[in-house]
A and B are shown apart, each in its own frame.
Chain A
Amino acid sequence: MSAQERRALLLLVAGFTVWSVAFVVLYGMQALGCAFGWGDWHRPMLIGAYLLSLLPLGWLARQRPYSTGEPATTLSISALWANRAALVAGILVYFPVTFATVCI
């Protein structure tokens, strides 16, 4: 039970932690690319980082809760919802890398 709950607690914050790291990486790449003139490579690199960030978010969003063992199940379900929210937030917030003007 304890191990289950500890895993659920980690999962609860895992999705949005990945989301935060992706945010910092993408915002940093945007600034560095503009400062150092990455030119035509800038957007493909941003899109690559965007898609890469969705991989762990997608994996976390599929981590099913335990079928037995209250109260661990409760925390696991919260974790599942938080991770799905992180995936949706990742898709929506970073989607502008595909079309928005990068340096202006």
Chain B
Amino acid sequence: MSQSDLSPIRLHRALNDIWGTPPGLGRLSSVNHTVLGRRFMVVALIFFAIGGLLSMLIRAQLATPNSAFVGPEIYNQIFTMHGTVMMFLFAIPMFEGFAIYILPKMLGARDMAFPRLTAYGFWCYLFGGSILIIAMLMGVAPNGGWFMYTPLSSRPYTPGINADVWLLGITFVEISAVTAAVELFVTILKVRAPGMSLIRMPLFAWYMLVTSGMMIVGFPPLILGSILLELERAFGLPFFDPTRGGDPLLWQHLFWLFGHPEVYIIFLPAAGALSTIIPVFAQRPILGFRAIIAAIVAMGFLSFGLWVHHMFTVGIPHLALAFFSAASALVAIPTAIQIFAWIGTLASGRPRWDIPMLYVAGFFVVFVIGGLTGVMLAMVPFNTQAHDSYFVVAHLHYVLVGGFVFPMLAAIYHWMPHISGRQSLYRLSVPAFWFIMVGFNLTFFLMHLTGLMGMPRRISTYPSNWGWDWLNLLSSVGSFILTMGFALVLADIVMQFRFGRPFRRDPWHAGTLEWAIPTPPTNYSFAALPRIDAPGDQLAPRLIGPQLAGGRGYLGFPRDGQMETLGVDMVTGEAEQLIVLPQSSFLPLWTGLATGSIFVALLFGFYWLAPLGALLTVVLFLLWTVKLGRKHDSGPVDIGMGEQAPRDVECPGNVTVLANRTAVVMDAILFSSLLFGGLFLLVVAPNWDGLAPLDLPLWLLALALMASTAGAGFSWLARRANASGLLIGSAVAQVLAVVVLAVLMAWVPEPTGHARQATMFALLAYATIHTALGALMSSYGIWRVQQGFVSTRRNTELVLAWLWNGYAAAALVPALGLVLMLALAGDGA
């Protein structure tokens, strides 16, 4: 079949049948990025409303001195949940949802690289977030602050399940961030329209590429920290207990290793949206494209060198303070480069002042104030004065609301017509903006003053004779004005869906590809994929759209009822492979529920149930693959435009391999964080003097290492010689390594007695899990070979077996090395 055989209407119907989501309960099986992106954003906005309601309660409590509106215990839960909900359940999922919705369309693709993973991430997000909200409604919400500092969050000081709800609920939610990070990274690099080289990608894609890279590096330390703290709370492994060789500062390091880059992880997508919106309304290409790319790369790296500025007052040597202070001030420069590029674009263009631009202007004012107070806080002497005061509360809200919420509102007004197919009537938009602008500044600017006057964060009430009364009352009045503004925005959105003006295509005269598709979007997004020969944000969607709708482009035809899009060379953007995507399935939902069962079992102390949940999750993941792949080689196939490309399963550099490599990097970063934690405790933590060295059975260490290395070697040979039978040897050797490592875990004397043994136990557990994973991947390879899915050209399973087995063996060396060092601690180590 070729693209000329079908009329546009017939092509639309044929593609719609293939890409559509079933009605009724079948909607829960959707894997479509448009549907899931919308769901992510809607759920995130619901959480935003919940977080907003909590902030109203906070301001009601603080409006007057000596308030008895809520008691201290409820207040602790409210402010903890406000921060937690806004950071983890609103900001991150909101931009994830937006990226999931818009990126494939901007890149000229029909969907993300892994649609089922998108769905699985959504369910993990929804279920994990629900655990937190249900806990709050039941009065057992987390109450130790959104950064859960130990020892306050440790068992002796938080004996209930409040902290467990945070640790388990957030880790569950973070699965969606992890899956999104991998998927966004792979999609941006590999799933684009032919001709869209890296340098032709729209700036938003560059921003999201850097953001996803930051998520890959930034989230593992938090996940590790949460696991270690939960191990301490549930089983008594004392990683953070200084009386048993742990150190509360380790938690702070792990949390802020994630927590500070997190601010930029939230800001960069918003900045990407601004870099897309501003040129549209300035009616000229963005100024300083090359400088912006250099700036976002610089921000991405520098943001990982700042985390200790959250810990300036904990007692850190001057040299370390100077490192982090300098880096904290320096990161303002790449931020400023972008702000000057945006201002320059507006100054040298012919700006149209429409509603999105109101919020862009609001962003400039609010974010620049937040940035300047950020530079103030980067200076150690000032930070010491302002630490833990309302000045910090003011600063972080100026940065986060200025750097995320204002751009988000600009983006909502810019892209809502894309989702709804209707343009806003703007009756409510202008007053809504002014309510938000005035309300926000009234609420938070005054907090700079209360902070400088000495008002500490997190206090539930205050006496009336300290001069804070009027400032707090005005802040509370401002917060209610701010809320009215958001209510008007909500009403405006509803009005737009109900009464907005329909439009044909591209109402803003934008330059990005998402406006080339019908609005509201069709299930398949593009009837045909375009050939890109110009910068991806300087295109003409109005001209391109009708051509694509007529099937004139790549893949402008249905084939075998399959969901097809194209994979490209990640640098040049030339068509490289035909990607066949999996269709709607309930499996992501079931897998999300199974994963949830692990967290619920741990939360309620049914520890024996958790492994069963984990086993069920693994089995369900394996079921995902049952219908994927092909049982015969087909060679290059027609992709339209007179070109051919092999199917993804026959392409050595397919998206599955890249995603697994990315996952290994993420895993390695988690492992590096664990190694850092072990070394940190060994070198810095108190109460390590007087420890007797342990008589570690070295032969067991050597046996585990040899077995795992043999497992990796067999898998390498299997891939190299395409001899799948060798995978049996690989699986057997790794199982032997698992058994030996399990024996070593059992050998560790009293893991709850001291952080040394606890760390040894954790390192051995990591090694055991990864050798087991190696065995699993080899066994999976054997299974796929038996099913007929593997050949000389279709060898993805062999590549993956080597990848995970190689990693397991490689990780064993530093893991066992540190175990040995820890065992020798007390003997001069």
Contacts and interface: CB of A to CB of B under 8 A. Distances in A.
A78 to B, nearest CB: 4
A2 B569 contact: yes
A27 B572 contact: no
B571 A2 contact: yes
Contacts of A9: 198, 571
A84 to B, nearest CB: 9
A55 interface: no
B326 A92 contact: yes
B571 A23 contact: no
A31 B683 contact: yes
B428 interface: no
Interface string A1-35: 11001100100110011011001001100111011
Q: How large is the interface on B (under 10, 10 to 19, 20 to 34, 35 or more residues)?
A: 20 to 34
Contact of A86 (B198, B298, B323, B683): B298
A34 B318 CA distance: 12
A78 B317 contact: no
B199 A35 contact: no
Given A2-B572, A31-B684, A71-B197, A100 B319 contact: yes
Interface in A48-85: 71-72, 74-75, 77-79, 81-82, 85
B200 A93 contact: no
Interface residues of A, number: 44
Interface string B286-324: 000111011001101110110000000000011111110
B319 A97 contact: yes
A71 B199 CA distance: 7
Contacts of A102: 317-319
Given A13-B297, A86-B298, A89-B327, A78 B197 contact: no
B190 to A, nearest CB: 14
Main secondary structure of the interface of A (DSSP, over half): helix
A71 B326 CA distance: 35
A72 to B, nearest CB: 8
A44 interface: no
A30 B319 CA distance: 8
Contacts of A96: 318-319, 322-323, 326
Interface string B652-694: 0000000000000000000000000000000110000000000
A25 to B, nearest CB: 12
Contacts of B298: 16, 82, 85-86, 89
A20 B322 contact: no
A82 B683 contact: no
Contacts of A72: 199
Given A89-B302, A100-B319, A35 B293 contact: no
Interface string B542-570: 00000000000000000000000000010
A12 B199 CA distance: 12
Interface in B314-349: 317-323, 326-327, 330, 333-334
A32 B683 CA distance: 7
Nearest to B334: A85
A16 B334 CA distance: 13
B369 to A, nearest CB: 25
A30 B317 contact: yes
A53 B325 CA distance: 20
Contacts of A103: 317, 319
A1 B298 CA distance: 25
A23 B289 CA distance: 28
A72 B199 CA distance: 8
8 contacts: A5-B571, A16-B297, A27-B323, A31-B684, A78-B297, A79-B294, A81-B294, A96-B319
Interface of B: 197-200, 289-291, 293-294, 297-298, 300-302, 304-305, 317-323, 326-327, 330, 333-334, 569, 571-572, 683-684
Interface of A: 1-2, 5-6, 9, 12-13, 16-17, 19-20, 23, 26-27, 30-32, 34-36, 46, 71-72, 74-75, 77-79, 81-82, 85-86, 89, 92-97, 100-104
Given A13-B301, A78-B294, A86-B301, 19 more contacts: A5-B198, A6-B571, A20-B301, A23-B305, A27-B323, A30-B319, A46-B319, A77-B290, A78-B290, A78-B297, A81-B294, A82-B294, A89-B302, A92-B326, A93-B327, A97-B319, A100-B319, A103-B319, A104-B318
